[in-house]
Chain A
Amino acid sequence: MLQQLDTVTEQSAALVSGETTSSSLARTALERAEKNSHLNAFVCLNPDHILTQAQAADKRRESGKPLSPIDGVPIAIKDNYLTKDYPTTACSGARPLEPDNVDATIVANLRKAGAVIFGKTNMHEWAYGATNTTSTSGPTRNPHNPDHMTGGSSGGSAAAVAAGIVAAALGSDTGGSVRIPSSACGIYGFKPSYGRASRHGVLPLSWSLDAPGPIAASLNDIAMLLPYFMGRDDKDPSTFRAQGFQPIDYTHQIKLTHLIGAGLERSKEVDKTLRSVIDNSIATVTEAEIPNIISYFAAWEAILHSEASSYHEKYLQKNPQGFSSVTRAHLEAGLKLTATEILQAQKLRRRLLDTLLHSFGDWDILVLPTLPVTAPKHGEDWQEFGGRRVTTQDSMTWFCWLGNLTGLPCVTIPIGRSSLGLPIGMMLMGKPGQDEKLLSMAMSLEKSIALKE
């Protein structure tokens, strides 16, 4: 589990003070990766290459020319971000095993800042699932209890951070894939507003839902990493109007709206933990229900499957056996949706955003549990909570898809443990484009929670 010097902030400070070196951080991370190999967090690691990068970072620092505050900090990369030095398979048999000779924009930004690119992490095949149980490298295991899932699809990244192997890792989020495993593993994950973070070089699942985001051991770390995600990238048209990350210190009263009601059920234990935290926080709290949520969920599914099918059509024709059985069924379903159905989904998307922004009064944050249950056990196909019986897959995306369909910025923070010792997370959703305000409010709320504990 997390140990001293396990945050990016601490590692950066220790590198500046000379208390540690990048080579030392890299060696420790490699040792921890070996020690935690049973978690199956990594699909590709090259110790020689990692140590070479670390030595170069040490030389820059010795000569007084570090490239950035994160120069020399090891950061793991989800296996759907293109990397020059590692193959990018998305944990699917349909992808080539050779590197693509190009970095995703975010990887390039980190490399330019001197970060040590620390291997590729395990994920749910093509990010097309939220359990991390379907992967050419096998399932990932939760550091809090290896009999339980990490959630996904960025499960390897979350496991690597939660186990203290690296302080931060990259994830991508189409229906919760940054937030789900971060919550299940008891750490922090941030999904930027749609259009603020570059998707260039991140293998798509669904163009209009995808958002890359950081997974880390603290909110301060998230703040250190977001500058490498956000801002205009000419290679990604969605970022045409994107502003770079500009941290703010939001000091006003925070108004929370807790979303409840049909379609947003959760287990008693999760509900009790969340209510205890928000009722005792510094924020004012109101409650609201989303009417007809089943239609909005259908809209998310329709957009997801149709966009994924469009991207994968050529792969499906050439190599249908390269996909797992369930992933292929999802893609085939997407091929059968009609243009009218997809446009209806886009109408519903706009209506949901209008409802959230204008029907719930004056709010700063919409709050939900990140997951309705704690990390499921491996082999469990169904979850029961709040009078519902749903597939484990659907239980993982139960709340998170709201952030992708609307494009709102979201962050998950750990707020407690279940009776079995498994983490429980809280998801905060902000107004569109107000990522900095959301992060600042999340920090204030977390401080108030910690002070009361």
Chain B
Amino acid sequence: MNQSTTHLTEDQKERIEKTLKRIRAGLWSEEERNNTTVFEEPSHIFVPETYDATTT
């Protein structure tokens, strides 16, 4: 699901556009593209043993 729900106002459409523009500019900034480290794997939070609890 990556489609908008119903009937957004012009103000909301503008806010969404600005928010996405800001996020994407940061995620893929020139400095970020040139930044290489050994830590290339994303941060993960999935720990299977976590779910081996009767009350979960």
Contacts and interface: CB of A to CB of B under 8 A. Distances in A.
Interface of A: 208, 234-235, 237-238, 240, 291-292, 294-299, 301-302, 305, 313, 316-317, 320, 325-326, 328-330, 332-333, 335-338, 341, 343-351, 353-354
Contact of B55 (A234, A317, A338, A354): A234
B40 A347 contact: yes
17 contacts: A240-B49, A294-B29, A295-B26, A298-B22, A298-B29, A301-B26, A305-B23, A316-B5, A330-B19, A337-B2, A341-B23, A341-B27, A344-B42, A347-B40, A351-B35, A351-B37, A351-B39
Contacts of B40: 347
Nearest to B35: A292
B4 to A, nearest CB: 5
A328 B43 CA distance: 28
Given A330-B19, A333-B23, A336-B4, 17 more contacts: A237-B50, A237-B56, A240-B47, A294-B26, A295-B29, A295-B31, A301-B22, A301-B26, A302-B27, A313-B1, A332-B8, A332-B12, A333-B19, A338-B2, A350-B43, A351-B35, A354-B37
Given A301-B23, A332-B4, A333-B19, A350 B39 contact: yes
B15 A347 contact: no
Most buried by A among B19, B40, B41: B19
A344 B29 CA distance: 12
B31 A292 contact: yes
Contacts of A299: 26-27
Interface in B1-43: 1-9, 11-12, 15-16, 19-20, 22-29, 31-32, 35, 37, 39-43
A208 B3 CA distance: 23
Most buried by B among A330, A332, A346, A347: A332
Interface residues of B, number: 42
Contact of A305 (B11, B19, B32, B54): B19
Given A291-B31, A301-B23, A335 B56 contact: no
A26 B32 CA distance: 54
Nearest to B6: A320
A contact patch SS? helix
A337 B20 contact: yes
B37 to A, nearest CB: 6
B42 A350 contact: yes
A129 to B, nearest CB: 12
A337 B53 CA distance: 33
A234 B54 contact: yes
A302 B23 contact: yes
A444 B39 CA distance: 35
Given A294-B29, A350-B39, A325 B55 contact: no
A23 to B, nearest CB: 35
A351 B8 CA distance: 36
Given A295-B27, A302-B27, A325-B11, A348 B32 contact: yes
A335 B42 contact: no
Most buried by A among B8, B15, B23, B47: B23
B12 to A, nearest CB: 4
Most buried by A among B3, B49, B50: B50
Contact of B24 (A325, A341, A343, A349): A341
Most buried by B among A296, A316, A344: A344
B51 A237 contact: yes
A344 B43 contact: no
Contact of B27 (A240, A317, A344): A344
Contacts of A302: 23, 27
Nearest to A340: B27
Contacts of A336: 2, 4, 16, 20
A142 B28 CA distance: 39
